[in-house]
Amino acid sequence: MATPPDNKALKADLTRRMDGAMETLKKEFTGLRTGRAAPALLENIRVEAYGTNQPLNQLANVSVGGPAMLVVQVFDRSVTKAVEVAIRDSGLNLNPQAEGQVIRINLPPLTEQRRNELAKMAAKYAEGAKVAIRGVRRDGMESIAAWKKKSEISEDDAKRWSDEVQKLTDGYIKQIDTVTAAKEKDIKTV
């Protein structure tokens, strides 16, 4: 026999899934360049080395070498060229300079056009996160409707649970808007 529906379990599951969408958004935002040097800028770069595609952070240590410079210390000299190529081909418009096992990346100032492109990318990532949050909301509402249809919960419980799911969704959408506004401000700050 199936266990009866539990509002707390439903809310915990929806919260966990919505938190996952928020974490994905924040990770995508780390790859968007602002005017300052930040190691997170290179976080999503993958390097073809040792016959596999690996994250940069498994092959090198990335640090800030100044307000507009990143320093990449490669662990194994034999993959320095592969790391340099991966950074150059990352689509971040970076020009790495290798000196032995150290790669220096001077971050050029962002043009107004590039800042606008990055702001649009941030908005696109935010919209994707909102779609994911709404998908989780839809799943919750469908579960509630199915339980109500099977008479496992009352009409009043279904209404109250639906309101809670909507409130949870609204909170996450507001969070996305806040994080996105902060990122856009960061991008557009010269």
Looking at the fold, whether 133 and 153 belong to one and the same domain comes out as yes
Looking at the fold, whether 117 and 100 belong to one and the same domain comes out as no
- The 10s digit of each residue's pLDDT in 60-107 is 898 888 778 889 999 988 898 999 999 888 877 788 888 988 999 888
- The 10s digit of each residue's pLDDT in 106-136 is 887 778 888 888 889 899 999 999 999 999 9
Q: From 106, 131, 164, give the residue that closes a domain.
A: 106
- The 10s digit of each residue's pLDDT in 27-59 is 888 777 666 777 877 888 888 888 888 888 888
Residue 2 lies in a domain: no
Looking at the fold, whether 76 and 15 belong to one and the same domain comes out as no
Looking at the fold, whether 143 and 156 belong to one and the same domain comes out as yes
**Is the model's pTM score more than 0.95?**
no
Looking at the fold, whether 79 and 143 belong to one and the same domain comes out as no
Looking at the fold, whether 72 and 162 belong to one and the same domain comes out as no
Looking at the fold, whether 23 and 74 belong to one and the same domain comes out as no
- Structurally, the chain folds into a number of domains equal to 2
Classify 40 as helix, strand or coil. helix
Alpha-carbon distance 190 to 186, whole Å? 9
Q: From 106, 121, 137, give the residue that closes a domain.
A: 106
Looking at the fold, whether 121 and 76 belong to one and the same domain comes out as no
Q: Which of 137, 151, 155 is nearest to 10 (CA)?
A: 137
Residue 184 structural domain: 7-30+111-188
Which stretches within the chain are classed as H helix?
7-30, 80-88, 112-149, 155-188
Cα angle 71-33-171, degrees, rounded to a multiple of 5: 130
- Identify the CATH number of the domain in which residue 90 sits: 3.30.1360.40
Residue 1 lies in a domain: no
Looking at the fold, whether 89 and 152 belong to one and the same domain comes out as no
- Identify the CATH number of the domain in which residue 123 sits: 1.10.132.20
Amino acid identity of residue 138, one-letter, is R
Alpha-carbon distance 24 to 128, whole Å? 10
**Confidence label for 2 from pLDDT (cuts 50, 70 and 90):** very low
Q: From 82, 106, 130, give the residue that closes a domain.
A: 106
Looking at the fold, whether 83 and 123 belong to one and the same domain comes out as no
